[in-house]
Structure 1
Amino acid sequence: MQYEGVLKKMQTEIGSPIQYYMLFESDFLNVNQVLDKTLKIEFIKHQCLNCGNDRPIYRQGFCRTCFFEIPSAGDWIMRPELSTAHLDQEDRDLAYEKKVQLQPHIVYLANSSNVKVGVTRKGQVPTRWIDQGAHEAIEIVEVPNRYLAGITEVALKDHVGDKTNWRTMLTNDVVDENLQDWRNRLKQYIPKEALPYYLESNLETQIEFPVLQYPTKVKSLNLSKTPTFEGKLMGIKGQYLIFEDNTVFNVRGSEGYYVGFTIS
């Protein structure tokens, strides 16, 4: 079987285990069905997710020009505390920023390699946790805008991590944690503006990933350096494909790469 198209982050569907899909312009692939089969990946060209041109990808699937111009790549995306739509202040496009920022957001704890704090739109729960490779997660607060979520995350980062060790996550060298206890201990550090939105009694979400074999020591595949790769697919976790020879491929990190897939 052969597929061809520009890489975007894999879409997911809740299940035991999680179901993964690659969506192309006129086709889609249920990646779970490729497990224990040989997958060949061939880099063909770049295709910016915004302008569609064959230009080197700078960040987040965009060429350099688009990354510094389009509203969906503003600094507030990665740093939600910089959100200003609630003040009616524009960064790049106020209408877009109001649409995204002025909606319910969740501050959460997720355990993928360690317990970390993060922010996502309410509508992205539990997708965000799946994308990070978290096997367990819990909401802390649900606030009405992105700014409040951002300042809460900043306050909690002094007391809990905010980064995932992707190598630890992929080797599954993780320890289960009682996230309800973590949430309760962190309550005292929530800013007073967000404290009324504290979630008192919600339970952990458990996530099961489709992995037949975890790598013992990960080797990252970079299509710019290795434009053709072939290996047996043994698992999917977060946004990574895991191969039998310990190679891992970050699909989301390769957004904007136009590739060919051959399954045998």
Structure 2
Amino acid sequence: MNYQGVLTKMETEFSLPIQYYLVFESDFININQLLNKTITIQFVKYQCLNCGLNKPIYRQGFDKQCFFKVPQAADWIMRPELSTAHLGKEDRDLEYEKRAQLQPHIVYLANSSNVKVGVTRKQQVPTRWIDQGAHEAIEIVEVPNRYLAGITEVALKDYVADKTNWRKMLKNDIEDENLLEWRARLKQYIPDEAKEYFIESNTETHLDFPVNKYPEKPKSLNIKKAQTYTGKLVGIKGQYLIFEDETVFNVRANEGLVVNITVD
């Protein structure tokens, strides 16, 4: 079997275990069905997710010119506290920003390599947790816009991590935590503007990833440098493909690359 297309983050389905799909323009692959199979990934060219041109990817699937132009790569994406659509102020495209920012957002705790705080649109639960490789997560507050979620996250970052250690997550070097207790301890630090949105009663969500073997010393595949790689797929976690030789490939970090995938 042979597939070719531009990489975007894997689509997922919340089930036991989680189902992963690599979606190309005219085809898709259920990655779970490739477990224990030998696959070859070959770099073909670049294809910016905005302009479609064969130009080196700068960040997030965009070439450098597009990255500093498109609203999908604005600073408020990574730093939601910078959102201004609720004030009617434009950053790059006010209509886009209103659609993205002026909708319900969740501030959550997720345990992947450690307990961390994060922000996502409500409609992205539990997808966001899957993408981070979290094996358990819980919502803390549900607010009506991205700005309120952002200032809540900033306030809580003084008391809980906001980053995931990807190596520890992939090694499955994790401990179960009582996220209900974490949420209760952090409640007092929620900003006054968001206190009314605290979620008083809910339960942890547990996630099960399709991994047959976790790497002890994961090494990241740079497909642009390697040009081609062949390995036996033994797991999928977060947005990573895990191979038997402990090579791992971060699909999301390689968005905008056109690859050829061959399944033996």
Q: Under TM normalisation by the shorter chain, which class is it?
A: over 0.9
Partner of 1:204: 204
| Structure 2 residue 152 is matched with structure 1 residue 148 | no
Aligned mates of 2:247, 2:210 — CA distance in 1: 16
| Structure 2 residue 120 is matched with structure 1 residue 120 | yes
Partner of 1:56: 56
Partner of 2:220: 220
Query: Partner letter of residue 133 of structure 1?
Result: G
SS in 2 for 1:176: coil
Partner of 2:10: 10
Partner of 1:179: 179
Deviation of 1:14 (Å)? 1.1
Deviation of 1:129 (Å)? 0.1
Aligned mates of 1:243, 1:193 — CA distance in 2: 46
Partner of 2:241: 241
Query: Partner letter of residue 207 of structure 1?
Result: L
Query: Partner letter of residue 50 of structure 1?
Result: N
| Structure 2 residue 195 is matched with structure 1 residue 195 | yes
Aligned mates of 2:245, 2:222 — CA distance in 1: 15
Aligned mates of 2:104, 2:32 — CA distance in 1: 32
SS in 2 for 1:225: helix
Query: Partner letter of residue 151 of structure 1?
Result: I
Query: Partner letter of residue 100 of structure 2?
Result: V
Query: Partner letter of residue 28 of structure 1?
Result: F
Runs of 4+ in 1 over 2 A off after TM superposition: none
| Structure 2 residue 123 is matched with structure 1 residue 161 | no
Aligned mates of 1:109, 1:66 — CA distance in 2: 32
Aligned mates of 1:58, 1:172 — CA distance in 2: 30
Query: Percentage identity across aligned positions?
Result: 73
SS in 2 for 1:107: strand
SS in 2 for 1:39: strand
Partner of 2:93: 93
SS in 2 for 1:134: coil
Aligned mates of 1:93, 1:253 — CA distance in 2: 25
Q: CA RMSD in A?
A: 0.4
Q: Deviations over 1:74-130 (max 9, x none)?
A: 100000000000000000010000000000000000000000000000000000000
Q: Deviations over 1:243-264 (max 9, x none)?
A: 0000000000000000000001
Query: Partner letter of residue 9 of structure 1?
Result: K
Deviation of 1:36 (Å)? 0.2
Aligned mates of 2:230, 2:42 — CA distance in 1: 9
Unaligned runs of 5+ in 2: none
The number of residue pairs the alignment matches comes to 264
Aligned mates of 2:220, 2:73 — CA distance in 1: 25
Aligned mates of 1:224, 1:153 — CA distance in 2: 35
Partner of 1:21: 21
Query: Partner letter of residue 117 of structure 1?
Result: V
Unaligned runs of 5+ in 1: none
Partner of 2:70: 70
Aligned mates of 2:61, 2:92 — CA distance in 1: 19
Deviation of 1:227 (Å)? 1.0
Deviation of 1:225 (Å)? 1.2
Deviation of 1:167 (Å)? 0.1
Query: Partner letter of residue 168 of structure 1?
Result: K
Query: Partner letter of residue 32 of structure 2?
Result: N
Partner of 1:134: 134
